Amino acid sequence: MQRFSGFSLLRRGLSGHRDWQPQWRKPEPKAAYDAIIVGGGGHGLGAAYYLAKEHNLRNVAVLEKGWIGGGNTGRNTTIIRSNYLRDESAALYDHALKMWEGLSQDLNYNVMFSQRGVMMLAHTVHDVQVFKRHVHANRANRVDNQWLTCEEARAVCPLLRTDDIRYPVLGAAFQSRGGTARHDAVAWGYARAADALGVDIIENCEVTGIRRDANGAVQALETARGLIQARKVGVCAAGHSSVILKMAGVRLPLESYPLQALVSEPVKPIFPCVVMSNTIHAYISQSDKGELVIGAGTDAYTSYTQRGGLHVTSHALEAICELFPMFRRMRMLRSWGGIVDVSPDRSPIIAKTPVPGLYVNCGWGTGGFKATPGSAHLFAWTIAHDRPHAINAPFTIERFRDGRLIDEAAAAAVAH
Ligand code: FAD
Ligand code: PYC
């Protein structure tokens, strides 16, 4: 790993960035690997890193059809929290939150994790009841969450308008350990750390087919860069997970929708925490660059276009301007969409599949960024041991057949 003195950093910065060493190699794919991860987002890169670091599997590749972090990892609004309702989810998301707390140190890469607090607004009596239920359930699971009155909510976020609006604010749930992180840095940090342990990160390498042997087990992947053999394949492909699993004859209970976000022009630090409103489909925080990061709901129909409908973002902006009237004159710089993989109970799948050697990590829908380190860690464990870790054991595909659902519709934040 390269280390720089302050002087050499300045010299390189002024010399047009010549002589920078790439942070990870660009290897040609080998003919065979012990394990292949499909999908170079945070979950896939993280899984490869933990396979190498904690399970000593060094002959590992990550195959990414585009560029790493170009999927939802680089498109999300970076909200991190663990205030989910069910015991299974509390264990999963808090495992991740605890890992976020040490991730920059572990990767030796600043992922800019900022525990500025996440506030979820209640606008109706039903919201109040639901969020109070979450607060109690979270506390029973030793996950921090507290109920705030309107006055207390305004004390945390003075810009918030609570009265005289279409959906007045009746109070809020607040998780002070929640916050945000820098999404690209998560992909880059995991990529650099995995590469340093020998993992091959292969971009522009779309997986187009899955070959199975006479016993039905995974044998090789057909890719844009040729046939690559592997006995273990883990798929972390977010909105495209069902497309890939179909190549092995596995049908996933997922629907893929566009989810949109947008950022404003940058302004000085003004917004102290994250504020979310599930009822009016809008959420907002301020990035370290000063941009307001604003998210909207999903489109009402399934699609693979990374764009989404204009009316959806317009609706979110109207809601934000009602809650924060001082932002009415802000200009938006850009908007984008990502394809989210929504499961029927709004909980993920981190599991073995019916195909020996094939594992899947998907169904995170609109909320998987917050889980990145925990999900990657548990997925690596599952691949290495060929059985789930106790924390992800409930998150099977079979639960949709057996009825052991983990309903997180209210905690999922974005209505879909
Ligand atoms: P990705 O980062 O999407 O990685 C999957 C990769 O697989 C992609 O890079 C893709 O190119 C690759 N791939 C697909 N098909 C193939 C193939 N055939 N061959 C090879 N590679 C392939 N979550 C939160 O927790 N908090 C938030 O605030 C939040 N906000 C969001 C806002 C938006 C607008 C969006 C779109 C999502 C948001 N999410 C949020 C959800 C979150 O972004 C995702 O759940 C999470 O990033 C998924 O990570 P991943 O690594 O599984 O997927
Ligand atoms: O999961 O917290 C979340 C979230 C917020 C916006 C999109 N997802």
pLDDT tens-digit series, residues 212-222: 999 999 999 99
Alpha carbons 376 and 382: distance in angstroms, whole number: 10
Q: Answer yes or no: do 314 and 197 share one domain.
A: no
Residue 12 lies inside a defined structural domain of this protein: no
pLDDT at 334: 94
Q: Which ligand is nearest to the CA of 178?
A: 2
Q: What is the mean pLDDT of residues 296-317?
A: 92
Report the domain count for the chain: 2
Q: Which of 65, 67, 72, 208 to mutate to test the pocket of ligand 1 (most atoms within 8 A of CB)?
A: 72
The Cα-based distances of 171 to 14, 122, 146, 168, 403 in angstroms read 51, 5, 11, 9, 34
Q: Are residues 233 and 366 in the same domain?
A: yes
Provide, rounded to the nearest whole percent, the portion of the chain with pLDDT above 70: 99
Q: Using CA positions, which residue lies closest to atom 7 of ligand 2?
A: 366
For 191-202, what is each residue's pLDDT tens digit?
Answer: 999 999 999 999
CB contact set of 324 (below 8 Å; sequence gap of 6+): 159, 160, 161, 284
Is the same domain home to 370 and 400?
A: yes
Q: 180 has which bridge partners?
A: 79, 114
- Mean pLDDT is lowest, of 5-9, 65-69, 94-98, 312-316, for 5-9
The label of the residue with tokens 């720089």 reads 4
Is 252 in contact with 278 (CB distance < 8 Å)?
Answer: no
Q: What is the pLDDT of residues 12-51, one digit of tens each?
A: 778 877 777 899 999 999 999 999 999 999 999 999 999 9
Binding site membership of 275 for ligand 2 (Cβ less than 6 Å): no
Q: Token pair of 310, please?
A: 């204009």
pLDDT at 113: 98
Per the CB < 8 A criterion, the answer to whether 394 and 372 are in contact is no
Residue 263 lies in a domain: yes
356 and 311 in a common domain: no
Strands (DSSP E) found in 299-404: 332-342, 349-352, 358-362
**Nearest ligand 2 atom to alpha carbon 276:** 5
- Residue 91 in any domain: the answer is no
Residues 246 and 263 reside in one and the same domain: no
Give the tens place of pLDDT for each residue, 224-264.
999 999 999 999 999 999 999 999 999 999 999 999 999 99
Those residues with Cβ within 8 angstroms of residue 94's Cβ, 6 or more apart along the chain or in another chain: 82, 141, 142, 143
Same domain for 307 and 290? yes
Domain that holds residue 201: 27-78+183-253+345-411
Rounded percentage of the chain residues whose pLDDT exceeds 90: 90
User: 260 and 172, same structural domain?
Assistant: yes
Mutate which of 83, 359, 369, 414 for ligand 1? The one with the most ligand atoms within 8 Å of its CB, which is 369
106 occurs within a structural domain: no
The encoded tokens of residue 325 equal 């009237």
SS3 151: helix
Q: Cα(245)–Cα(247) distance, rounded to whole angstroms?
A: 5
pLDDT value of residue 416: 56
Provide the pairing of β-strand 32-38 with 226-235.
parallel
User: What CATH number should be reported for the domain holding residue 192?
Assistant: 3.50.50.60
pLDDT per position as a tens digit, 113-130: 999 999 999 999 999 999
Lowest mean pLDDT among 8-12, 149-153, 333-337: 8-12
Look at residue 276 and tell me if it is in a domain: yes
Please tell me the predicted confidence (pLDDT) of residue 8: 78
Angle between helices 183-196 and 42-55 (to 10 degrees): 30
Q: Check whether residue 163 and residue 268 sit in a common domain.
A: yes
Location of structure tokens 């929640």: 178
Instruction: Look up residue 364 and give its DSSP letter.
Output: B
Domain containing 142 — which CATH number?
Answer: 3.30.9.10
Dist CA 213 CA 262 (whole Å): 46
**Coil, strand or helix at 154:** helix
Residue 21 is predicted with a pLDDT of: 84
Nearest residue (CA) to ligand 1, atom 9: 71
* pLDDT recorded at residue 19: 73
Give the side-chain half-sphere CA count within 13 A for 168: 7
Q: Output phi, psi for 94, to 5 deg.
A: -75, -30
**Which residue, chain included where needed, has tokens 């998301």?**
93
pLDDT category of residue 11 using cuts at 50, 70 and 90: confident
For residues 261 and 234, membership in a common domain is answered with: no
Check if 286 has its Cβ closer than 6 Å to any atom of ligand 1.
no
Residues 171 and 152 in one domain: yes
Q: Name the average pLDDT for the chain.
A: 95
In this structure, the answer to whether residues 160 and 189 fall within a common structural domain is no
Residue 3 in any domain: the answer is: no
Measure Cα distances from 351 to 115, 186, 399 in Å: 30, 23, 11
Q: Which ligand is nearest to the CA of 77?
A: 1
Q: Where is the domain boundary, 342, 368, 389?
A: 342
Whether residue 110 lies inside any domain: the answer is no
In this structure, the answer to whether residues 327 and 278 fall within a common structural domain is yes
**Residue 309 CB less than 6 A away from ligand 1:** no
Looking at 307, 342, 377, the residue that finishes a domain is: 342
What's the whole-number mean pLDDT along residues 68-74? 97
Residues 6+ away with beta carbon under 8 Å from 10:
none
Q: Which residue has the tokens 């809650």?
A: 323
Q: Is 369 in the pocket of ligand 1 (CB under 6 A)?
A: yes
- Say yes or no: CB of residue 369 within 6 Å of ligand 2: no
Q: What is the mean pLDDT of residues 324-343?
A: 96
Does the C-beta of 374 come closer than 6 Å to ligand 2?
no
Q: Which of 312, 342, 372 is the last residue of a domain?
A: 342
83 part of a folded domain? no
Nearest of 236, 206, 233, 234 to residue 218 by alpha carbon: 233
User: Which ligand 2 atom sits nearest the alpha carbon of residue 81?
Assistant: 2
Q: What is the pLDDT of residue 415?
A: 62
